[in-house]
Structure 1
């Protein structure tokens, strides 16, 4: 037997238009803010819904078996779909008031479902059925919508820079060091690109992805959006930011035109780009594509805009939530605790769901070389980590894609930064006000 432990947290990126959702509380459930007492002798059935592939489904089946060794009176019925099918079914269930008891959840949908009272307030169960002492406080806060904790992360990731160590050495530039400025980074890109002679490049235009704009704003002490879901930046600020990437687009790094030739694998995964910034859980995908001679990846922090800024943060790879209408909230909370905190679950899943957010679960995971690098990277940026931003607005997914497509237009010379910013604000206004 092993002891159940801790939990909490927050992220992922998904979805376009908001859906009209309404929810109400089950008449059998405790009143809001009250906890139902857990009775381990009561026979209970819980639905557990998740997305993923057959490998993940197998892991969940193993985890359920381990859970039943400790809680034999709770029968867990798994529901497994791919990502798109999962959310189509949840939308249908939400409209009809019948969400599963426990759900694997995507961060992009958390505000939508939380603000419509479809998710249980986990607050009354924190520290009791759901242990939190092995979870960083910053991770606990990630699942808060309004004044309620409606989701707890299974795992976290952070924005990072992956570097092809061997290619950096071949080009004579070495890996870009931690703590370097963006001005130094742009020069490093130019040096690597020149050394590559049209066959390899330093990096691409970092201004074409919304997460870089987010880091830029956070370096100034501000998030992209307020707690109320309003934009926290101006059209002029966005145009100025997009202007920063002009030198790279003019030939000092890989251009959009060159990058298109590498679709769908990408220049970095093909072994022709030294550095790429993305979430730190993307490493396994890179290794699956990179040529054998380029399997050594270095993971460093993004360049620095402002010394001492808390621009980085941990986001959830995924979360667990409980339906507000579950008839067994205490038993559901016990299941969530097990899925997030149990060392046995860490042993079963490893980093399949990302780097475990709970230290007890992380201790149970058998980390491979890359996962160890990710763990060490997240530990190395502790002084640079700030609180996670407010839960994404409902239309964040569509805005993220619009930002990327406008970045591509800039790379092709189809728009000026001012024109692109004006177009983005048209969509932003519609997303916020509709």
Structure 2
């Protein structure tokens, strides 16, 4: 396997030779972007991401490392929370002013890729090491065969357990991978053992990812290859109704969760378990203050199903209108491929998706737990789902909001299903 920096250096040298030859004939290009990367040209790139202060500190450290190698490329970095992030990107897209390099999500691949707002990364292939990714992970950033983004890492859906709470009340941990009925029974046992001081978990029917797992156990997906919903109103109704018994005193009341928002029930130590992506362990440790958190496989009613998948949703992309595509590609490559990125981020952006980034990661503590968990569920990992539909982010939020409204008793399941499909019909056209 070639090392991407070696390839970039060779490309830069060739570009320099070409520029020299052109200059001698009076035909030198007027800018670095039109004549290849010029290591002597001063370039400024706008880079943005969503996240918290911890992620910002890590990016700042990575940019500092990057500038030791590329002092001519100045990175202007900014960040915000997830909802505000995408609102701003939509405004920028309408005005043609997207950042040069930006943290991206596969949920928006159709929305930004189809209208040509993202750079085809193959056009700057001399500056990016694609071979460091397995095909299945590299393909998560492809749409109709075009490579628009690359993943920073990947995760798998998991059940998190607060080991401190379980030890305090002498409760046996959930073993993972049982039926949903058995998981609900375990949650009920926790709520009973603590006298309601801590609940067994959160209503898992609020999360579209849990619905996705159920559909995949049945051989389906949330959406189809041609960008439509992959489930019926009856299937959604059945799923939301399946949580009714748990909402009756087993899982934490939604009204309690509203009081501590945006911290989750698990992060706020109101629950002993919660389901989410495996890379959330660092955030959960920080929010809860727990000394120990375990990850186990989520429930399934079909142990032979390939319901889980390597979710590489957090990606990096380049704007199609950047004035410095080569420099942007060099920085993108550094974020997704460099050993320095592996060392600085560990698994906080997902388990490293590229072999070169993984080589720099020191998998200790929580990072090692994530690696062990991913290995433990390898037999349940199936093919990645189709590229998310346009507007998937909005549909995911609608699903969650309606699930919370059901929990508050503000809406019936039937009305929630009708509202979801009405919203979907508008978003999907």
Tell me the TM-score normalized by structure 2: 0.82
TM-superposed CA distance for 1:276, in Å, is: 0.6
Which of residues 390, 395, 398 in structure 1 aligns to 2:391?
Answer: 395
1:148 to 2:146 alignment = yes
Are the counterparts in 1 of residues 158 and 278 from structure 2 also a CA contact under 8 Å?
A: yes
In structure 2, the CA distance between the partners of 1:85 and 1:261, relative to structure 1 (3 Å rule), is: closer
Equivalent residue of 1:269, what SS? coil
Counterparts in 2 of 1:259-298, with a 5 A limit?
259-291=257-289, 294-298=290-294
The 1-side partners of 2:190 and 2:392 are apart by 34
Q: In the alignment, which residue of structure 1 is the partner of 2:102?
A: 103
In structure 2, the CA distance between the partners of 1:176 and 1:136, relative to structure 1 (3 Å rule), is: farther
TM-superposed CA distance for 1:48, in Å, is: 3.8
The 1-side partners of 2:55 and 2:287 are apart by 21
TM-superposed CA distance for 1:71, in Å, is: 4.9
The 2-side partners of 1:264 and 1:67 are apart by 33
Q: Unaligned 5+ residue runs, structure 2?
A: 7-29
Equivalent residue of 1:319, what SS? strand
TM-superposed CA distance for 1:388, in Å, is: 2.6
Q: In the alignment, which residue of structure 2 is the partner of 1:122?
A: 121
Q: In the alignment, which residue of structure 2 is the partner of 1:229?
A: 227
Q: In the alignment, which residue of structure 2 is the partner of 1:184?
A: 182
Aligned residues: 402
Which of residues 355, 358, 370 in structure 2 aligns to 1:374?
Answer: 370
Q: In the alignment, which residue of structure 2 is the partner of 1:251?
A: 249
Q: Unaligned 5+ residue runs, structure 1?
A: 7-27, 30-35
Q: In the alignment, which residue of structure 2 is the partner of 1:137?
A: 135
In structure 2, the CA distance between the partners of 1:177 and 1:414, relative to structure 1 (3 Å rule), is: same
1:8-59 C-alpha deviation (Å, 9 max, x unpaired): xxxxxxxxxxxxxxxxxxxx99xxxxxx995566746351411356665554
TM-superposed CA distance for 1:109, in Å, is: 3.0
1:112 to 2:111 alignment = yes
TM-superposed CA distance for 1:152, in Å, is: 0.6
TM-superposed CA distance for 1:85, in Å, is: 6.3
1:315 to 2:311 alignment = yes
In structure 2, the CA distance between the partners of 1:416 and 1:89, relative to structure 1 (3 Å rule), is: closer
TM-superposed CA distance for 1:328, in Å, is: 4.5
The 2-side partners of 1:186 and 1:148 are apart by 43
Q: In the alignment, which residue of structure 2 is the partner of 1:12?
A: none
TM-superposed CA distance for 1:258, in Å, is: 4.7
The 2-side partners of 1:111 and 1:326 are apart by 20
TM-superposed CA distance for 1:62, in Å, is: 4.4
After superposition, the CA RMSD in angstroms is: 3.1
Q: In the alignment, which residue of structure 2 is the partner of 1:75?
A: 73
Which of residues 330, 336, 340 in structure 2 aligns to 1:334?
Answer: 330
Are the counterparts in 1 of residues 111 and 391 from structure 2 also a CA contact under 8 Å?
A: no
The answer to which structure has the higher helix fraction is 2
